[in-house]
Each structure stands twice: as C-alpha cells, then as structure tokens.
Amino acid sequence: MASGNGSNFEALVSAIWNRRIHAEIALLVVNNPGCGAQQRADRLGIPWQLLNHRDYDSRTDLDRDLVERFRAADVEGIVMAGWMRIVTSELIRAFPDRLINIHPSLLPSFRGLDGVGQALRAGVRIAGCTIHLVTEDLDAGPILIQAAVPVLETDDHNSLSQRIHQQEHHILPIALMLAAQRWR
C-alpha cells in the first residue's frame, strides 16, 4: 500500500529481484491517482489498483474494499510503505500480525504525523525509522526493526528525511523476513 513516491515499494521490488528476500508482490494498492508508486509499478510491471480514499464515505468502507482486493489477490501479508491514511480495525482484524508499517521515527517516540518534524522540533540528536506490526493503537504495534540516523546541526526536514528514507530502504526487506517468520 502506498500513497506517494513509492521509493520503499521499489526498494522492496529490488530486494525481491536481487533475491535478498523470497517474496512476491501480488498487488500494489495506491490511494492517490498518478502517484509515484503507481508510475513505478507500471515501469516495473507490478499489478496495481487505485482505491482513491476520496471516493469512500468512511475509512471503514475503504478498508473493507482493501480487504476484498487483498483476499482476491491471495495476499499473505501487507506492507504499508508510505500509506498516508490511518487504517481501521476492518483491515487490521482481517490480517492480524500481517500488516506492516514503516514509520519515520524511533518509536515509541514521535508517533503519528510528521515524525521527522517532531524530532527536529524536539531537538533530538538521534532520529531514525521503525518498521512495526500494525495494531489498533496508532504506531504502537510490536517493533520488527529500527535504524538510527544522527541528526546533524545542518539538518533541515528534507536532509534528515532523505537519510531516514535511505535506512527505510535498507531495513524493509529485513523486516519483511522477520514478519514472515511469525507467519509460518
């Protein structure tokens, strides 16, 4: 699942193609028409579907449709790679312990929106990213893996985000392998 640029999606595709992990992407779902993730999927030959959240009366309705699409594609696990929507219990309960989220902070610090901005405003010296299982409590599920990134005196939102994003690309395949071990 992706909402934006799709660099984490492409990093995961690359890890699969380079045989760093044994997995298959059955379906990419995007919620923003023409987003970078959709364009990357086209270029990479990965099937995708648009479920524009603006077309649904509620988050539950969107998540119900997501569950149907993922079940139809025989999906075993789901990666929320830049999915900028809070999911409901409808999706979480349909895929318990099989829904993975990437968050740009060292959880439990800086939960919710704009973890990078929160870290900069707090003046921390170390920031980073977390990949965790999704639960009904926002950004509070069991942590699979984290990566730390130093906050430099010259950092702004963009420079710190870029370095955190590089670490997300590195740890996402590892997190997927760790999650898959739980699924056996």
Query: Tell me: domain 1-95, CATH 3.40.50.170, correct?
Result: yes
Examine the residue annotation and report whether 53 is marked as an active-site residue of this protein: no
Which pLDDT value is given to residue 184?
Answer: 72
Structure tokens at 125: 């010296």
**pLDDT tens, position by position, 90-141:** 999 999 999 999 999 999 999 999 999 999 999 999 999 999 999 999 999 9
Which pLDDT value is given to residue 164?
Answer: 98
For each successive 10 residues of the chain (184 residues), what is the average pLDDT? 95 95 95 96 97 96 98 96 93 96 98 97 98 96 98 98 97 94 82
d(Cα 154, Cα 113) in Å, to the nearest integer? Answer: 23
Q: Are 130 and 146 in contact (CB under 8 A)?
A: yes
Distances (CA, A) of 47 to 41, 139, 163: 7, 28, 29
Which pLDDT value is given to residue 153?
Answer: 96
Structure tokens at 168: 């997300």
Q: Give the type of residue at 163.
A: R
Q: Which of 29, 47, 88 is closest to 64 using CA atoms?
A: 88
Catalytic residue among 103, 132, 165, 169: 103
d(Cα 81, Cα 25) in Å, to the nearest integer? Answer: 13
Structure tokens at 178: 């760790």
Query: Domain 101-184 maps to which CATH number in 3.40.50.170, 2.40.33.10, 3.90.550.10, 3.10.350.10?
Result: 3.40.50.170
Q: Can you give the residue ranges of every domain in the chain?
A: 1-95, 101-184
d(Cα 120, Cα 89) in Å, to the nearest integer? Answer: 31
Topology match between the domains 1-95 and 101-184: yes
